[in-house]
Amino acid sequence: MIRYPYNELEFTFSSSPDETYEADFLIGLYRSMLRIRMIQEAIESRYHEDEMKTPIHLVIGQEATSVGVCAALRTTDQVYSSHRTQGNYLAKGGSLKGMMSELYCRLNGCAGSRGGSMHLLDKSVGYAGSSAIVGGSVPIATGAAFGAQYLKKDQINVVFFGDAATEEGAIWESINFAALKSLPVLYICENNFYSVCSSMEVRQPKVDIYKKAGAFGVNSCRIDGTQVLNVYEATREAVKIARSGGGPTFIESVAYRWRGHGGAGDDSASGYRDPEEVKAWQKFCPIDGLYKDLMKKNLFDETRNSSMKKEIQDEIEEAFQHAINSPNPEEKDLSTYVYSD
């Protein structure tokens, strides 16, 4: 049984058909999504080696949300995430080597092997951190927005979280405060219908998530999260509002999680969802969709696609080697940075 059919979803915002983009911009979006996909697949293929001793939460199928949102941001804008970090981190420009070293628990990991896969950060590109507690980053990002407003910094603050985070009280406390103070914050709800193995229907009444946010007086919309331009344009609009002092926007971006909640592979055979549902959503791949579109418009070709893949593959291999050959922390590293001076 397909519990959540793609075709039955209703969206309140979609990209404008009249909008024209430079080819390089579109190819850039494609490359960014493809790169995230290939990195995820590489991690997945080597996860069984047990050398990446950290949980992994793959974002395969949902790449368009990360890429579309981050394409509308500046480097100085701040991004926070939930446990499913990798797409957000990479789309914002986080160092791949830093991430791979973190997954391999190395001293030179982006969080010095103290964060693991669920707490990546790269301050140099405005990827500000994440929380392994569902919803935990939402107040933090709201506070970042408050800090930016207080210090009169031109800084947009974005937080990615899943559908289940909207079952946590503190996110509504945050949205209430953000609306009250007109904070420059974007709430990006990546709705993939499942919290680990629990479907939406056992967790929430049938009220659209974006409508709940709307009830707090914030701008809100639901978009097709398999279409990167939808995500980009919705975010661009939200950013414009926030930069001009118009306050927060809540974007519910719907896209399916092709893999299990954590670890490698799809676990739908375990019975919590129908493997047919996964297959059905795979027809709406954000990367294939954009690729076909680019081909149709003669903006791209197979040769360029192959060389792009080769380039990404080389980068990935280099990052793995970097991580594998990096030193482990030592016992003396354990007790540093408990307190700040």
Partner 1 sequence: MPWAEALITSKAAGQEVAEEGRVLAYVDALHEALTLALELDPKVFVLGQGVNDPRGMFGVTTDLYKKFGEDRVFDTPLSEEGLTGICAGAALNGTRPVYLHNRPDFLLLTFNQLVSHASKFHYIDNGQNNVPMVVWSAIGRGWGSGSQHSQAIQGFLLGVPGLKIIMPSTPYDAKGLMLAAIADNNPVLIFDHRWNMKAKGVVPEGIYHIPIGKGVYRRRGEDLTIVGTSHTLALALEAMEDLDKEGISADVIDLRTLKPLDEEIIFESLKKTGKILIVDTGPAMAGVCAEIGCLVAEKGFHDLRGPVRRIGLPDSPIPAGFTLEQYYFPDKDRIAKVIREMVSGA
SS3 222: strand
Query: Do residues 95 and 102 touch, judged by C-beta distance below 8 A?
Result: no
* Structural element, H or E, at residue 251: strand 249-254
Residue with tokens 């003669």, as numbered in its chain: 298
Query: Of the candidates 123, 211, 283, 310, which one interacts with partner 1 according to CB under 8 A?
Result: 123
Query: Of the candidates 128, 156, 234, 239, which one interacts with partner 1 according to CB under 8 A?
Result: 128
Total residues at interface with partner 1 (CB under 8 A): 43
* 101: its two tokens: 């070293």
Query: Of the candidates 141, 213, 234, 241, which one interacts with partner 1 according to CB under 8 A?
Result: 141
Query: Of the candidates 22, 302, 331, 341, which one interacts with partner 1 according to CB under 8 A?
Result: 341
Q: Is 59 in the site for partner 1 (CB under 8 A)?
A: no
**What distances in angstroms separate CA 213 from CA 37, 107, 202, 221, 305, one per listed residue?**
30, 41, 20, 9, 40
Task: Give the separation between CA 338 and CA 207, rounded to whole angstroms.
Answer: 43
Contact region for partner 1 (CB under 8 A) — 36-44, 85-93, 168-176, 229-237?
Answer: 168-176
* 163: its two tokens: 């559908």
**What distances in angstroms separate CA 286 from CA 2, 118, 151, one per listed residue?**
20, 24, 38
For the chain, give me the number of helices (H) and strands (E)?
11, 8
How many other CB atoms are there within 10 angstroms of residue 149's CB atom?
A: 19
Q: Is 331 in the site for partner 1 (CB under 8 A)?
A: no
As measured in angstroms, the least distance from the Cβ of 335 to partner 1 is 10
Query: Of the candidates 49, 202, 327, 337, which one interacts with partner 1 according to CB under 8 A?
Result: 337
Contact region for partner 1 (CB under 8 A) — 19-27, 112-120, 197-205, 239-247?
Answer: 112-120
As measured in angstroms, the least distance from the Cβ of 113 to partner 1 is 8
As measured in angstroms, the least distance from the Cβ of 188 to partner 1 is 16
Query: Of the candidates 65, 78, 227, 253, which one interacts with partner 1 according to CB under 8 A?
Result: 78
Q: Is 114 in the site for partner 1 (CB under 8 A)?
A: yes
* 28: its two tokens: 């850039």
Query: Do residues 291 and 27 touch, judged by C-beta distance below 8 A?
Result: no
Query: Of the candidates 2, 170, 299, 308, which one interacts with partner 1 according to CB under 8 A?
Result: 170
User: Of 162, 159, 250, 251, which Cα lies nearest the Cα of 199?
Assistant: 162
As measured in angstroms, the least distance from the Cβ of 246 to partner 1 is 19
> Applying CB under 8 A, which residues contact partner 1?
78, 111-112, 114-115, 119, 121, 123, 128-129, 131, 133, 136, 138-148, 150-151, 153, 155, 169-174, 176-177, 180, 336-341
